Structure 1
Amino acid sequence: MADNKSADIKMSTASKTRKSLNKLQKMKDEGEKICQVCPAELGPFFALAAEMVGCDIFRIPGMLMPRAGGTYNTDWEGEWFNSQMTVIKYREYSKIMHMNFYLPVQFYADKVDAVKYGAQLVFNGADSILPMGVTNEVLKYMSDNWVPTYGHIGAISGWQTNATGYKRLGKTAEEAFDIFKWGYEYQENGMGAMTIELTPQEVAQAISEKLRVPVIGIAAGAPCDGSEMVDMDTFGVMPSKPIHAKTYAELLPFLCEAYMGWLDDVKDEEYPQKENGFAMDPEELEKFNDMMAKF
Structure 2
Amino acid sequence: MHKSVKDILDKKKNGQKISVITAYDYTLASLCDKAGIDIMLVGDSAGMVMLGYENTIPVTMEQMILFTEAVSRARQNSLVVADMPFMSYQASTSDAIANSGRLIKAGADSVKLEGGKIVAPTIQAIVETGIPVMGHIGFQPQTTTLAQGYRVQAKTKDAALTLIEDAKALEKAGAFSIALEMVTSEVSKIISESISIPTIGIGSGKFCDGQVLVVHDLLGMYDKLKPKFVKQYLSLSDQITKAVSTYKSDIESGKFPAKENWFTMDKTELDKLMSEVD
TM-score, normalised relative to structure 2: 0.87
Question: What's the Cα RMSD here?
Answer: 2.4
Q: Deviations over 1:106-159 (max 9, x none)?
A: 321221121122123212210110122261221111111111111201111253
Contact 2:137 2:180 in 1 (8 A): yes
TM-score, normalised relative to structure 1: 0.83
Which SS does the other structure have where 2:161 is aligned?
Answer: helix
- Residue 263 (structure 1) aligned with residue 248 (structure 2): yes
Q: Which residue of 1 aligns with 2:101?
A: 119
Distance 2:194 2:223 in 1: 34
Q: How many aligned residue pairs are there?
A: 270
Contact 1:202 1:222 in 2 (8 A): no
Contact 1:128 1:150 in 2 (8 A): yes
> Sequence identity, in percent?
26
| C-alpha spacing 1:84/1:162, structure 2 compared with 1 (3 Å) | closer
Structure 1 alignment gaps of length 5 or more: 1-16
Contact 1:170 1:179 in 2 (8 A): yes
After TM superposition, the structure 1 = structure 2 runs for residues 26-41 of structure 1, keeping only pairs within 5 Å, are 26-39=10-23
After TM superposition, the structure 1 = structure 2 runs for residues 230-249 of structure 1, keeping only pairs within 5 Å, are 230-236=214-220, 237-239=222-224, 241-249=226-234
Deviating more after overlay: 210-219 vs 79-88: 79-88
Distance 1:124 1:288 in 2: 51
Q: Which residue of 1 aligns with 2:177?
A: 193
Distance 2:143 2:40 in 1: 20
> AA paired with 1:183?
A
- Residue 202 (structure 1) aligned with residue 202 (structure 2): no
Contact 2:61 2:84 in 1 (8 A): no
> AA paired with 2:92?
D
Structure 2 alignment gaps of length 5 or more: none
Contact 1:154 1:199 in 2 (8 A): yes
> AA paired with 1:166?
Y
Q: Which residue of 2 aligns with 1:224?
A: 208
Q: Which residue of 1 aligns with 2:268?
A: 283
| C-alpha spacing 1:32/1:44, structure 2 compared with 1 (3 Å) | same
Q: Which of residues 42, 48, 72 in structure 2 aligns to 1:91?
A: 72
Contact 1:156 1:164 in 2 (8 A): no
1:31 shift after superposition: 0.8
| C-alpha spacing 1:249/1:283, structure 2 compared with 1 (3 Å) | same
Q: Deviations over 1:151-201 (max 9, x none)?
A: 201111253467765311111222111101101101101111111111211
Contact 1:156 1:165 in 2 (8 A): no
Distance 1:161 1:244 in 2: 17
1:46 shift after superposition: 2.0
Distance 2:61 2:184 in 1: 36
